[in-house]
Amino acid sequence: MTRALDLRTVVGIALLVALILLPIYVEATGSRFLLTLFTRIVILAIAAVSLNLILGYGGMMSFGHAAYLGIGGYAVGILSFEGVSSGFVQWPVALVVSALFALVIGALSLRTRGVYFIMITLAFAQMTYYIVAGLARYGGDDGLTLQKRSQFVAPVNLSNKIQFYYICLALLCASLYLVWRIVNSRFGLAVQGARSNDTRMRAIGFPTYRYKLICFVIAGTLCGLAGALIANHTDFVSPAMMYWTRSGDLIIMVVLGGMGSLFGPLFGTVALLVLEEALSGITEYWQIILGPLLLLIVLFARGGIDGLLGKVRHG
Amino acid sequence: MTLFIEQCMNGLQFGLLLFMLAAGLTLVFGIMDLVNLAHGSLYMIGAYFAATFAAWTGSFVLGALLALVATLLVGMAVEVIAMRRLYGRDHLDHVLATFGLILFFDELVRLIWGAGGMSLPLPSWLNSPVRILPGVDYSAYKLSIIVVSLAVAAFLYVLVMRTRIGMLIRAGASNREMIGALGVNIKLLFTLVFGLGAALAGLAGLMQAPILTVQIGMGENILILAFVITVIGGIGSIRGAFIAAILVGLIDTLGRAYFTDLLRLFFAKETAATAAPALSSMLIYLLMATVLVIRPEGLFPASSK
């Protein structure tokens, strides 16, 4: 992987700069809606970046990634409901619980491969969906409304929409940096090696199962963070955020942007959500356009948006 | 005891219905190596067709037959237009492309039939209970679902194990390139198999339609169950799908019926009442996870590729 400034890095950084400047535009035009939309985009981009770590780099086709969104979200929601509103408690709990779930799910799922892996991750995500839907004390199917957002010390106030946006954006940048560091480390290269040829990596002496599991847990934890953010963003958590179609949406974001590319998930998330907004402006039946579009992307644009920015480096 | 027998029959009926969905799924997967998430959409379309045609013709049976043919045609069209291009691709590509198809079909149905949903009324001769055992009455319609499903299972068995087409299907499942090289028209065979799978999904949909409402997204929940069954049974194995489907149908139905009572033995009444629905929904996923951990290839793995 080259560290030179290629086109995709330039576009990626340009997009980040545009995201940083967005609130200025919002202040100028007073378009609150745009800020809400892009806060959502930035948060889901964190989830997509985390999924890309296992899907794109690790070759682990998890079809249950939205489960961690829900787990992170519910960790915040439940603590808030029980009167613990400090973010210094809520967020670490969200991360730890997501990590524990990812550890258990990953440890069992990674024993299988291929389609079976897709299906078992899906099954675990559905299981967590039903657990959460069964929590009658916390709203069950109807979900749970947050009385107030996570509380931090004085200058930090998540209810300030612009501040919250910048916090999410900073966390997105941190996630991108983390993933970049991981995939270029010895650990990350070993995981990518296992994607290409697991048997060979084991023969060389890498404990690929353990490496992949660690990678899976990191991705789950990061997605749990996105879940905690989204709970604060919408002031609401419900089982619907972890339904299997949500996992499908996350996969779309990653593949649309370009799997195994650092900025790919960010491109994909921006593209998908902006496209959704644009299409739903045209017609009420916008999914009738989006569906075939996905099919065409799969058939004719395999590298996703990232692939359009030049040759794919590996594969 | 009467109730227990009735619940067992319900479980069997649900399992057999799931079998019809899972059979199509596992056939398509075993032979074309294709993960088809849009299978649930075909189930939904079968139900919508049946409701429409039955209203048109005024006859339940005629409507059902027309719907079956229509779903078969839709399935074959989908294969020719979209699926054909996906063979040999990565499974992730299948997941994405067919996810796109789900969005498309859901929206198409909303466009054509509206968001309200429909109902498919039963004719009176199917709507009355029959006596299956001394002192046990059971819905004639559910009984007829069991009979039809068993007939379909038998038909599939004969088709796959005893006919020339079945021989080609099995040959295709074990080595696609080779039977193509031997001069078999693979493209046609695949279209037929996909159409058959679609018709089975449509049949399941239209038979379930009178019990539940016909609505958008009805295929999505049950699709996941069908996937669970194919995975438990071993992908590509019809026999595995049959056994797993009945297992899942029974566990799911009996779990919903008796899990609350079971939990009440161990926990407080309120805890049991709130925890049971969630836990019984989880039971089959738990079963699948257990099967996969113990036998990662499923209970009856199809012949290795």
Find, among A251, A303, A261, the residue nearest to A9 by Cα: A261
Q: Do A119 and B220 touch (CB under 8 A)?
A: no
Q: Looking at the predicted structure, is the pLDDT value of residue B191 above 70? A: yes
Over 90: is that where the pLDDT of B292 sits? no
Q: Is the pLDDT of residue B304 over 80?
A: no
Q: Is the Cβ pair B96, A294 closer than 8 Å?
A: yes
Q: Which of A112, A116, A118 lies nearest to residue B95, judging by beta carbons?
A: A118
| Residue B305 binned pLDDT confidence (cut-offs 50, 70, 90) | very low
The closest alpha carbon to A284, from B107, B100, B99, B109, belongs to B107
**Burial (0-12, 13-18, 19+ Cβ within 10 Å), A14:** exposed
- The reported pLDDT for the residue numbered B131 is 79
Task: Please tell me the distance in Å from B102's CA to the nearest CA on chain A.
Answer: 7
Q: Is the ipTM of this complex over 0.95?
A: no
Of A108, A119, A131, the CB nearest to B231: A119
Quote the pLDDT of residue B147. 92
Which residues lie below 8 Å from residue B84, measured CB to CB, with a gap of 6+? B187, B190, B191
Q: Is there a domain that residue A62 lies in? A: yes
Q: Which residues of B touch A244 (CB under 8 A)?
A: 220, 224
**Burial class of residue B294 (count of CB atoms within 10 Å of its CB; 0-12, 13-18, 19+):** exposed
* Contact flag A248-B95 (C-beta cutoff 8 Å): yes
The pLDDT value given to residue A270? 94
Residue A236's DSSP bridge partners are: A145
Chain B hits for A123, CB-CB cut-off 8 Å, are 228, 231, 285, 288-289
For residue A167, the model assigns a pLDDT of 94
**Model confidence over A99-118: pLDDT tens digits?**
999 999 999 899 888 888 88
> What is the CATH classification number for the domain harbouring B162?
1.10.3470
Q: Point out the residues of chain A with pLDDT beneath 70.
A: 1-5, 311-315
- pLDDT, mean of residues B188-208: 92
pLDDT at A311: 64
Q: Which residues contact B40 (CB under 8 A, 6 or more apart)?
A: B21, B102, B201, B218, B219, B220, B222, B223, B226
Is residue A170 situated within a structural domain? yes
CB B146 within 8 A of CB B8: no
The domain tally of chain B equals: 1
CA distance B22 to B244: 9
Calpha distance B158→B147 (Å, rounded): 17
Tally of domains within chain A: 1
Closest alpha carbon within chain B to A136: B274
Please check whether residue B128 lies inside any domain of the structure.
no
Chain A neighbors of B296, CB-CB under 8 A = 111-113, 116
Give the pLDDT confidence score for residue A314 in this predicted structure.
46
Q: Is residue B303 assigned to a domain? A: no
- pTM equals 0.87
Lowest mean pLDDT among A206-210, A275-279, B132-136, B184-188: B132-136
Closest-approach residue (CA) in chain A for B95: A248
Q: Tell me the pLDDT tens digit for each residue of B264-276.
A: 787 777 777 777 7
- pLDDT digits over A157-178, tens only? 888 889 999 999 999 999 999 9
Residue B11 lies in a domain: yes
Q: Which domain holds residue A122?
A: 42-249
- Minimal C-alpha gap between A160 and chain B (Å): 36
Residue A216 lies in a domain: yes
pLDDT (0 to 100) of residue B44: 94
pLDDT band at B126 (very low <50, low <70, confident <90, very high): confident
CA angle (B28 as vertex; B22, B34 as ends), nearest 5: 115
**B262 assigned to some structural domain:** yes
Please indicate whether, in this complex, the C-beta atoms of A294 and B100 are within 8 angstroms of each other: yes
| Cβ <8 Å between B97 and A244 | no
- Sort out which chain B residues have CB atoms less than 8 A from A133's CB and list them: 278, 281
DSSP count for chain B of H helices, then E strands: 11, 2
Which residue is it, tokens 């670490």? A92
Query: Does residue A102 sit within a domain?
Result: yes
Per-residue confidence (pLDDT) for residue B27, from 0 to 100: 86
A135 in a domain, yes or no? Answer: yes
Q: Which residues from A are below 8 Å from B234, CB to CB?
A: none
Partners of residue B86 in chain A, C-beta under 8 Å? 298-299
Q: Which residue from B107, B285, B292 is facing A288, i.e. has the nearest CB? A: B107
Q: Is residue A177 part of a domain?
A: yes
Pairing of strands A144-145, A236-237: antiparallel
Could A123 and B101 be called an inter-chain contact, meaning their C-beta atoms sit closer than 8 Å?
no
Q: Which residue of A has its CA nearest to B33?
A: A115
Interface test mutation site (partner B, options A62, A127, A196, A302, max chain B beta carbons within 10 A): A127
> Does residue A232 lie within any of the structural domains?
yes
Question: pLDDT at residue B40 above 50?
Answer: yes
The strand pair at A236-237 and B129-133 is best described as: unpaired
Residue with tokens 């049946």: B50
| Closest CA in chain A for residue B281 | A130
> How do residues B88-110 score in pLDDT, each as one tens digit?
888 888 888 998 999 899 999 99
Q: Which domain holds residue B85?
A: 2-122+136-294
Q: Is residue A270 part of a domain?
A: no
Q: What pLDDT is stored for residue B244 in this prediction?
A: 94
Work out how many CB contacts closer than 8 A connect A with B.
130
